[in-house]
Chain A
């Protein structure tokens, strides 16, 4: 079946492309050889399904890469009469019969190297490791397709020209480099997650991040933050089916129907988080995953443990004192200790120039003001959030809440006559 073949190809892609990139030291060549092999596979497998999909693709891609190298070498010699190709085809064919080396981690480290621009690392990783198209990446990262293409091309050129090594970093560099990889995946996932209305469109994209974070947890099972990130992505994905109502309006976490959450992902995530916690090294992603887990516990208990969530945010803010965490912490304090407590936490942010143009700040403020019964101020905050071009599903949610606040305001006034 075609879909199954496509699925098989996508599943083995990270491993095969990484092995190709390691052998040929050329990302473009690895990607092109794999695409050619995959196209051939879709035809060949219809006649005769292979015993081992990865091995079939690896052999076919190695053959194609050698061909391409040889042709390029012939062209080069014709121009400059310089050097021989690096390895003979025979040597490489022998290599192709060996088991596929697992070079996925090295490839992820190359694509997330701090010598590349941060906004490019996530896109490059998803492009090279997962095979996402430039067009889909452009949509996910909200840039035009030519801009995305330019970023990817520039990053690949820099890897080649600046000599970014295809290597696992030295122990001294490990914390910085691993953090770059994890941030890359976090950025990639956040891009896909932001727009709830993209459910259909973003689903394959988030599936890739889900897969990649799983790959990372598989190759680095001793790193608590790696396991925590894999857990975090699973917890967030588990809620996807509940994020929109049947009219396409965003449903905030606390109003979601737990019956719609995906049990398989919740169980997988819980296992990963448990293993991460057992290692006894606390990190920001582990706390974030614990916050997600606390929200999901509502599926069993019927009520979200807001006081516990607020405490977790206190711990998180010590490690990650950024605006995103501060806004979420304020919301949790509002739920746990009352709207005034939430507004007080949010007020500490009022002087930050960045929050004025940051939609989640105004949306959180609107909701806390509404909760406090300050409907007039809430309406103003809703308006501020709506001015900052929310995605469709969120726009409709904000409009609904604003209409409710307006009704409460009129109702309130009516009682005072």
Chain B
């Protein structure tokens, strides 16, 4: 499991768009190589944190919030990749993911070809 962290600002503006095109081309080349070698099992780009929604479990309740998981206290412990029609369906599954008290599940759409 490889997780990519980057500043979103790097891809904003005209220079950012050029950089994005370059980086995406590099991703595709790398992925092609890794898939051919039988190493890569899956992957994808995520849309910006602007599109993030988080389900918080705590105090016997589950609540939905705007925005990404932002604490430094908890650590990323795993991921599910699902395909559903809309955010409500994704949130319904996010609620079913077992987490410890205070656990959070962030929901982020993947980039689509037409984005």
Please list the residues of chain A having a beta carbon within 8 angstroms of any beta carbon in chain B.
82, 113-118, 120, 154, 157-158, 161-165, 167, 169-170, 172-173, 176
Residues of B within 8 A of A170 (CB): 88, 92
Assuming the contacts A114-B65, A115-B66, asked whether A164 and B86 have C-beta atoms less than 8 A apart, the reply is: yes
Q: What is the distance, in angstroms, from A150's C-beta to the closest C-beta of chain B?
A: 11
Residues of B within 8 A of A157 (CB): 50-51
Assuming the contacts A161-B51, A162-B109, asked whether A173 and B88 have C-beta atoms less than 8 A apart, the reply is: yes
Assuming the contacts A115-B53, A154-B50, A170-B92, asked whether A163 and B86 have C-beta atoms less than 8 A apart, the reply is: yes
> What 6 A-B pairs are tightest by C-beta distance, nearest first?
A165-B86, A114-B64, A115-B53, A161-B51, A117-B66, A162-B51
Question: 30 A-B Cβ contacts within 8 A?
Answer: A114-B66, A115-B53, A115-B64, A115-B91, A117-B66, A120-B66, A157-B50, A158-B50, A158-B51, A158-B66, A161-B50, A161-B51, A161-B109, A162-B51, A162-B52, A162-B53, A162-B109, A163-B85, A163-B87, A163-B109, A164-B87, A164-B88, A165-B86, A165-B88, A167-B88, A169-B88, A170-B88, A170-B92, A172-B92, A176-B64
Residues of B within 8 A of A162 (CB): 47, 51-53, 87, 107, 109
CB-defined interface of B26-67 with A at 8 Å, one 1/0 digit per residue? Answer: 000000000000000000000110111100000000011111
User: Which of A82, A114, A118, A176 counts the most chain B CB atoms within 10 A?
Assistant: A114
How far apart are the CA atoms of A169 and B89 in the complex, in Å?
A: 10
Assuming the contacts A115-B53, A158-B51, asked whether A163 and B90 have C-beta atoms less than 8 A apart, the reply is: yes
Residues of A within 8 A of B115 (CB): 161
How far apart are the CA atoms of A406 and B69 in the complex, in Å?
A: 53
How far apart are the CA atoms of A115 and B63 in the complex, in Å?
A: 10
In the complex, which range does the number of interface residues on chain B fall in?
A: 20 to 34
Contact A161–B47 (Cβ < 8 Å): yes
Contact A115–B50 (Cβ < 8 Å): no
How far apart are the CA atoms of A157 and B47 in the complex, in Å?
A: 12
> For the complex, is B6 an interface residue (Cβ under 8 Å from A)?
no
Q: Which B residue sits closest to A119, measured CB to CB?
A: B66
User: Which of A118, A161, A165 counts the most chain B CB atoms within 10 A?
Assistant: A161
Contact A116–B66 (Cβ < 8 Å): yes
How far apart are the CA atoms of A300 and B6 in the complex, in Å?
A: 67
How far apart are the CA atoms of A204 and B65 in the complex, in Å?
A: 31
Q: Which A residue sits closest to B54, measured CB to CB?
A: A115
Please list the residues of chain B having a beta carbon within 8 angstroms of any beta carbon in chain A.
47-48, 50-53, 63-67, 85-92, 107, 109, 114-115
How far apart are the CA atoms of A113 and B87 in the complex, in Å?
A: 10
User: Which of B51, B52, B63 counts the most chain A CB atoms within 10 A?
Assistant: B51
Q: Which A residue sits closest to B67, measured CB to CB?
A: A117
How far apart are the CA atoms of A292 and B50 in the complex, in Å?
A: 40
Q: Which B residue sits closest to A162, measured CB to CB?
A: B51
Q: What is the distance, in angstroms, from A118's C-beta to the closest C-beta of chain B?
A: 8
Residues of A within 8 A of B114 (CB): 82
Residues of A within 8 A of B91 (CB): 115
User: Which of B48, B66, B92 counts the most chain A CB atoms within 10 A?
Assistant: B66
Contact A167–B86 (Cβ < 8 Å): yes
Q: What is the distance, in angstroms, from A374's C-beta to the closest C-beta of chain B?
A: 40
Q: What is the distance, in angstroms, from B87's C-beta to the closest C-beta of chain A?
A: 5
Residues of A within 8 A of B50 (CB): 154, 157-158, 161
How far apart are the CA atoms of A167 and B86 in the complex, in Å?
A: 10
Contact A115–B92 (Cβ < 8 Å): no
Q: What is the distance, in angstroms, from B48's C-beta to the closest C-beta of chain A?
A: 8
Residues of A within 8 A of B51 (CB): 157-158, 161-162
Q: What is the distance, in angstroms, from A56's C-beta to the closest C-beta of chain B?
A: 33
Residues of B within 8 A of A120 (CB): 66
How far apart are the CA atoms of A196 and B80 in the complex, in Å?
A: 51
How far apart are the CA atoms of A162 and B48 in the complex, in Å?
A: 10
Q: What is the distance, in angstroms, from B24's C-beta to the closest C-beta of chain A?
A: 16
Residues of A within 8 A of B92 (CB): 170, 172-173
Q: Which B residue sits closest to A172, measured CB to CB?
A: B92
How far apart are the CA atoms of A111 and B51 in the complex, in Å?
A: 15
Residues of B within 8 A of A163 (CB): 85-87, 90, 109
Apart from A162-B47, A165-B88: 5 A-B pairs, beta carbons within 8 A:
A115-B91, A117-B66, A162-B87, A164-B86, A173-B92
Q: Which B residue sits closest to A118, measured CB to CB?
A: B66
How far apart are the CA atoms of A158 and B86 in the complex, in Å?
A: 12
Q: What is the distance, in angstroms, from B69's C-beta to the closest C-beta of chain A?
A: 14
How far apart are the CA atoms of A415 and B115 in the complex, in Å?
A: 80
Residues of B within 8 A of A169 (CB): 88
Q: Which B residue sits closest to A160, measured CB to CB?
A: B51
Residues of B within 8 A of A158 (CB): 50-51, 66
Contact B64–A165 (Cβ < 8 Å): no
How far apart are the CA atoms of A112 and B13 in the complex, in Å?
A: 31
Residues of A within 8 A of B90 (CB): 163
